[in-house]
Structure 1
Amino acid sequence: MSDELVVITVTYSPGPHLDRFLASLSHATERPVTVIMADNGSIDGAPEEALERYPYARLLRTGANLGYGTAVNRAVEEYLRDSDYSDFFIVANPDVQWGPRSIDIMLEAAARWPRAGSLGPLIRDPDGSVYPSARHQPSLVRGGMHAVVGPVWKNNPWTAEYRQERQEPSERPVGWLSGSCLLLRRVAYEEISGFDERYFMYMEDVDLGDRLSRAGWQNIYVPTAEILHDKGHATGRDPARNLAAHHTSTYTFLADRYPKRWQAPLRWSMRAALAARAGLVVRKSRRNRAKGRPA
């Protein structure tokens, strides 16, 4: 088994973010790396430029905008099946900047947690604040109250509990980890058949963490590893469309967890509530955008 580590990033006209991602990667690990850019139809030339500048970069054209999880699955199928690469691989957004030894610190943690299927670092926003990337699974009550009252009552207890905002950062198992940066154990990923391709965007990382847990694996938060995430470079292009997609993905996730016939009224209620909420936030986003305000 080789020590070489595969790093998969999904590109969709990533602009200058991609160069910062690749340039900072040398700070994150001492291992040799191969970076797979699973490209969902970039038109800005950034992936092609990266090929010229970084000899360890590879370009996989997916042929269309397949969504995040599907593009990752294609890269895994193309480069990791029956290969002698490391037992672990990285999945990360191209707008990540790597902190010192961030990948190596997660690999060291993986040795302490032999049932870790996924491991994730502490994530900082561009202003230096800590993003709550290690969360509980969204139970019906906790997740529902977070969705309903979160937009109007920022400090509500359900959101704080779901996002684990009041916990000091510590290395521990969590319900799920942000898909913006994950160290994944290949055997665990393959056991659950990777990302669920029904999710075009949003909730695919929540679903992945849940299915790993159900299969007996753990999702481990490793806050001693740090990255910076300049999130939203792609999703910010059409906020209203992406808000609608978030609600669609949320329904897919919740409906899967309550699949029985007698639970149909609950699914109908969730669908109606999410559709109503989506309508409200989409209209608000469009009004704000028309007025030049943040969505």
Structure 2
Amino acid sequence: MADARIRVVVVTWFPGHHLPELVESVRSSSAGPVPVTVVDNGSTDGTVEWVREHEGPLLQLVETGDNLGYGGGANVGVARAGEEWVVVANSDLTLDEGALDEVLAAAERWPRAGVLGPRILTTEGRLYPSARELPSLGRGVGHALLGWVWPRNPWTASYRRERGEPREERAGWLSGACMVLRRDAFEAVGGFDTSYFMYFEDTDLCERLGKAGYDVVYVPSAVVRHHGGASTSRDLVGMSKAHHDSAYLYLSRHYPGPAWLPVRVALKVGLWARYQLSRRVTRVLHGAEPTRD
């Protein structure tokens, strides 16, 4: 097998039937070889057995022995990669034909790129806002309060960069559902911050890469399809809590010290109230009971 330039790292936790579809799609995403490393965080749904059955030069398994979270699992996979580029991807994705070659071509146009992200579409073909502005207090409050009831409000639209046609450009941060990382840059900033068990680890990483002088680049000519919810649907309320906890962790770190204590308190109270609302909505819509609080 010729030396690969790029490797896909997939973090799995009860991925269901999606993982084989992703692995199959990787084969047509590049003209060159693209090995896949599956980092499993403790699945007992047959995932480990399936990977073992199909292991070979282009498919390897790493078992963490525990649920390290998304960023923690990704760090384990990237640490074992020797390729120049590493794709960190959700298990419920499929890559369009030539998608990774499109990203590698864009990397040649952006020699300072530390991370690039493709256009992410839902299974219905709708654009998922995968290139966003970094959250600020103003955008965050407006989006959190109005995003559900008024999706087109100016704060959400600004944060999600939904105006205009997608074009190749710098972004504040890219969705962790599919990130193409320059391995040297990833290692230079210390990888994902494992303080974030789920959510906002991608935001935090992109911000640190930007501060270190690397470009964060959106590449809409590369397309992936996101089925969504393969793992998070097992615990909708728990995932909502993780999202709100991570949002507080990310935002509060930007307002340290005694002078900003009132802001941190307001953030904590506001995000707690939003989580309680989301919990009730989840129970009504899905009949879900909290499994982690």
Shorter-chain TM-score above 0.5: yes
Superposed, which structure 2 residues align to 1:77-156 within 5 Å?
77=79, 79-80=80-81, 85-156=82-153
Cα-to-partner distance string for 1:29-80 (whole Å, 9 max, x where unaligned)? 1222221111001111123213323521111110111100000111222x13
Helix, strand or coil for the counterpart of 1:13?
A: coil
Q: Is the 8 Å Cα contact of residues 132 and 174 (structure 2) preserved in structure 1?
A: yes
Equivalent position to 2:202, from 200, 205, 227: 205
Helix, strand or coil for the counterpart of 2:210?
A: helix
Residue 61 of structure 2 is matched in structure 1 by: 59
Aligned letter for 1:8? Answer: V
Offset at 1:214?
Answer: 1.2
Q: Is the 8 Å Cα contact of residues 38 and 71 (structure 1) preserved in structure 2?
A: yes
Helix, strand or coil for the counterpart of 2:195?
A: coil
Q: Is the 8 Å Cα contact of residues 11 and 47 (structure 1) preserved in structure 2?
A: no
State whether structure 2 residue 222 is matched by structure 1 residue 220. Answer: no
State whether structure 2 residue 253 is matched by structure 1 residue 256. Answer: yes
Q: Name the % identity.
A: 44
Offset at 1:156?
Answer: 0.7
Offset at 1:25?
Answer: 0.8
Whole-Å separation in 1 of the counterparts to 2:97 and 2:27: 9
Helix, strand or coil for the counterpart of 2:253?
A: helix
Residue 74 of structure 2 is matched in structure 1 by: 72
> What is the RMSD of the two structures over their aligned residues, measured on CA atoms?
1.6
State whether structure 2 residue 178 is matched by structure 1 residue 184. Answer: no
Helix, strand or coil for the counterpart of 1:120?
A: strand
Residue 12 of structure 2 is matched in structure 1 by: 11
Whole-Å separation in 2 of the counterparts to 1:137 and 1:221: 14
Whole-Å separation in 1 of the counterparts to 2:242 and 2:273: 14
Whole-Å separation in 2 of the counterparts to 1:9 and 1:30: 20
Residue 269 of structure 1 is matched in structure 2 by: 266
Residue 170 of structure 1 is matched in structure 2 by: 167
Residue 158 of structure 1 is matched in structure 2 by: 155
Distance 1:200 1:138, change over 3 A: same
Helix, strand or coil for the counterpart of 1:30?
A: coil
Whole-Å separation in 2 of the counterparts to 1:238 and 1:216: 38
Q: Is the 8 Å Cα contact of residues 93 and 227 (structure 2) preserved in structure 1?
A: yes
Helix, strand or coil for the counterpart of 2:269?
A: helix
Equivalent position to 1:231, from 228, 231, 238: 228
Offset at 1:153?
Answer: 1.1
Whole-Å separation in 2 of the counterparts to 1:156 and 1:62: 42
Whole-Å separation in 2 of the counterparts to 1:50 and 1:245: 28
Q: Is the 8 Å Cα contact of residues 3 and 33 (structure 2) preserved in structure 1?
A: no
Structure 1 gap segments, 5+ residues each: none
Helix, strand or coil for the counterpart of 1:33?
A: coil
Aligned letter for 1:272? Answer: V
Cα-to-partner distance string for 1:103-155 (whole Å, 9 max, x where unaligned)? 01101101110111100100110101111111001111012200111111111
Q: Is the 8 Å Cα contact of residues 37 and 77 (structure 2) preserved in structure 1?
A: yes
Residue 40 of structure 1 is matched in structure 2 by: 41
Residue 243 of structure 1 is matched in structure 2 by: 240
Whole-Å separation in 2 of the counterparts to 1:61 and 1:268: 39
Whole-Å separation in 2 of the counterparts to 1:148 and 1:211: 27
Cα-to-partner distance string for 1:199-242 (whole Å, 9 max, x where unaligned)? 11111111111111111111100000001010111111221111
Q: Is the 8 Å Cα contact of residues 138 and 144 (structure 1) preserved in structure 2?
A: no
Helix, strand or coil for the counterpart of 1:238?
A: helix
Aligned letter for 2:221? Answer: T
How many corresponding residue pairs?
287
**TM-score normalized with structure 2 length:** 0.94
Whole-Å separation in 1 of the counterparts to 2:201 and 2:40: 18
Whole-Å separation in 1 of the counterparts to 2:125 and 2:233: 20
Q: Is the 8 Å Cα contact of residues 4 and 34 (structure 1) preserved in structure 2?
A: no
Offset at 1:4?
Answer: 4.2
Structure 2 gap segments, 5+ residues each: 289-293
Offset at 1:2?
Answer: 4.2
Aligned letter for 1:22? Answer: V
